Amino acid sequence: MNKHESIEIRPARMTDVETIRTFNAALARETEARILDSQLLKAGVEALLQDSSKGWYAVAVNSRDTGQATVVGQILITYEWSDWRNGNFWWIQSLYVDPNYRQHGVFRQLFEYVQEHAKANPEKVCGFRLYVERDNEQAHQVYAHMGFQQTAYLMHEIDFTEKPLSSPTATV
């Protein structure tokens, strides 16, 4: 039996906070070589789990290998209202699969779970969006294979949480 055959996808619970925090910290290290503030990260996960208007996590749970329910993957959905479409784009964020479970269909199962929920709410969900590191070719290929198309948009941001906060140097 493959590892993915013993995976169950379910909504995240408050009891999953520590695992989600750990996975998010690992994700930041792996994708951006960033070290996140552990307490701030935990507070952010807790805030989302306590307020569904911010979004929701789904987790992939394996019960077979260890005999107890172990979270082996996660996906976060947040919302962006589109006045042009009169619906929400669901943003896929904080996608992480334990390295021991990669290449075993865990992401596909997480994504299919999210898709089922979106299809059950077509009046509220107008599509999916996600962002990918520019040079992460493997991720670009995976998302393209799943039907995502690269857009013409580039992302720009001002992040108030980054320290030190610097003032813009370019003039407009």
CATH of the domain at 101: 3.40.630.30
Is 124 part of a structural domain of the chain?
A: yes
HSE-CB at 46 with a 13 A cutoff on CA atoms is 7
Per the structure, the count of domains in the chain is 1
Is 164 part of a structural domain of the chain?
A: no
Q: Which SS3 state, helix, strand or coil, does residue 118 take?
A: helix
Looking at residue 37, what is its pLDDT? 95
CB 88 within 8 A of CB 125: yes
CB 62 within 8 A of CB 101: yes
Is 135 part of a structural domain of the chain?
A: yes
Is 166 part of a structural domain of the chain?
A: no
Is 44 part of a structural domain of the chain?
A: yes
User: Domain range holding 72?
Assistant: 3-145
In the numeric block, the tokens 């999210």 are attached to 114
HSE-CB at 28 with a 13 A cutoff on CA atoms is 11
Q: How does pLDDT run across 13-60, given as a tens digit for each residue?
A: 999 999 999 999 999 999 889 999 999 999 999 999 999 999 999 999
Q: How does pLDDT run across 63-118, given as a tens digit for each residue?
A: 876 668 899 999 999 999 999 999 999 999 999 999 999 999 999 999 999 999 99
Is 161 part of a structural domain of the chain?
A: no
